[in-house]
Amino acid sequence: MEKMWAGRFQKELDREADDFNSSIHVDQRMFRQDIRGSVAHAAMLAKQGILTEQEGQEIIEALGGILQDIEDGALAIDPEAEDIHMFIESVLTKRIGDLGKKLHTARSRNDQVAVDIRLYLRDETAEILGLIKELIGAVAAQAKTNANIIMPGYTHLQRAQPITFGHHLLAYCMMLIRDCGRLEDAMKRMNQNPLGACALAGTTYNTDRAETAKLLGFDGYTLNSIDSVSDRDFCLELLSAFSVLMMHLSRFSEEIILWSSWEFKFVELDDSYTTGSSIMPQKKNPDMAELVRGKTGRVYGDLMALLTTLKGLPLAYNKDMQEDKEAIFDSIDTVKKCLRVFTPMIATMKAIPENMYAAAGKGFINATDLADYLVKKGLPFRTAYKIVGQTVARAIEEHKVLDALSLETLKEFSPLFEADVYEEISLQTCVSKRISAGGTGADSVAAQIEFVEDYLK
């Protein structure tokens, strides 16, 4: 295929080099955004008298036809084209002749690609935000169902204090809400129109960049033409936000994997989101959670790849920047796929309260509460802490949990222990007495659920 830029060359581009240079296999997915950007550009050119009304109209109609034909499958994107921008312009020229060649007036592929990526990422990020919100809804629903289910809370993966499963799940809702905030912040900064920056220095034509900004739904236009075509920090911001999101999903996955093991058996995943083994008939593997955990590495990799690609580039556009799309598209695809299986996996997950409760009953998880009991009877916390430490050592010796020690034994450690101690250190009391704001007590859990539900409204 003859290159649009062939004019100054005597020889054709080498085949292998041509293939190496081409980005159509990656950027063809932006065909809608490319056409949308061109329609706005043509409308602006006509409004400014750079094209006649008639010319603008004809170009816009032809672009609409191209969009329709690609959508319908009547027009295949040519894999031999250099990129999606060249492809659409060449089809336009084939369809309306020389007029098609006027579209690229006061524009360069450098600002064209910059606008296309932003439009594409804006659409995709909006979709991803919707998917995260669905996940938050699913987690909150599980938290509501399991608001009173007692489980061990851990630090260092050692049983620490009793909590409710609802409270534990709500921790993820809070993280995911911040993930949405990060994406929304990035979108705000990204939503500035780079079109009209042209190759790097602006143009001699009397363009109206505010007009294309308005037509394309941007909040305004970028103020420096060099920055407009050189900047990909909006891709990096999104990749960072996706990396943090994936880190959260990965931690959640890790817990689900642990909880589904026979060692824990706190939850049972639905058959639709687990797999069997080819050799071990008893297996029910949490592959979806493992894959989400695994794919987190890809997204981190995409972030690192693009940071590294950009770090040494002089201003303005360099072909290195063509690599941006593969990284950001891979992350978008990965994040979407992960969310699409993660949400129904969570929604269909069943808690096994007996096992959670039994695990919470072990491990001296109420030791802090035993110390608090003595503090309420007048001992300084450090003294109470020491006494309970000795009590725990005795319980270990006797192979008993704290609640199973007789009052007589307890009194050996402090005369302040009375019969009411057993009620005070029951798992139920330990949870219900954690009344501080944000704690695992029932009021706080209810307040958290309300907060999340309001957020989703």
Instruction: Report in angstroms how near the CB of residue 248 gets to ligand ARG at its nearest.
Output: 31
34 binds ligand ARG (CB under 6 A): no
Among 109, 118, 167, 248, binds ligand ARG (CB under 6 A): 109
317 binds ligand ARG (CB under 6 A): yes
Residue closer to ligand ARG by CB (options 311, 319) is: 319
Residue closer to ligand ARG by CB (options 322, 348) is: 322
Residue closer to ligand ARG by CB (options 23, 225) is: 23
Among 88, 151, 257, 321, binds ligand ARG (CB under 6 A): 321
Among 50, 113, 140, 370, binds ligand ARG (CB under 6 A): 113
- 104 assigned to active site: no
Instruction: Report in angstroms how near the CB of residue 334 gets to ligand ARG at its nearest.
Output: 21
Among the listed ranges 107-115, 189-197, 278-286, 425-433, the one in contact with ligand ARG (CB under 6 A) is 107-115
115 binds ligand ARG (CB under 6 A): no
Catalytic residue among 261, 272, 277, 406: 277
87 binds ligand ARG (CB under 6 A): no
**Using H for helix, E for strand and C for coil, what is the string for the chain?**
CCCCCHHHCCCCCCHHHHHHHCCHHHHHHHHHHHHHHHHHHHHHHHHCCCCCHHHHHHHHHHHHHHHHHHHHCCCCCCCCCCCHHHHHHHHHHHHHHHHHHHCCCCCCHHHHHHHHHHHHHHHHHHHHHHHHHHHHHHHHHHHHHCCCCEEEEEECCEEEEEEEHHHHHHHHHHHHHHHHHHHHHHHHHHCEECCCCCCCCCCCCCCCHHHHHHHCCCCEECCCHHHHHHCCHHHHHHHHHHHHHHHHHHHHHHHHHHHHCCCCCCEECCHHHCECCCCCCCCCECHHHHHHHHHHHHHHHHHHHHHHHHCCCCCCCCHHHHHHHHHHHHHHHHHHHHHHHHHHHHHCCEECHHHHHHHHHCCCCCHHHHHHHHHHCCCCHHHHHHHHHHHHHHHHHCCCCHHHCCHHHHHHHCCCCCCCHHHHCCHHHHHHCCCCCCCCCHHHHHHHHHHHHHHHC
Taking CB under 6 A as the criterion, which residues in 4-33 touch ligand ARG? 23, 27
Residue closer to ligand ARG by CB (options 136, 235) is: 235
90 binds ligand ARG (CB under 6 A): no
Instruction: Report in angstroms how near the CB of residue 86 gets to ligand ARG at its nearest.
Output: 8
- 277 assigned to active site: yes
Contact residues: ligand ARG, CB under 6 A: 23, 27, 83, 109-110, 113, 317, 319, 321-322
Q: Which residues are catalytic?
A: 156, 277
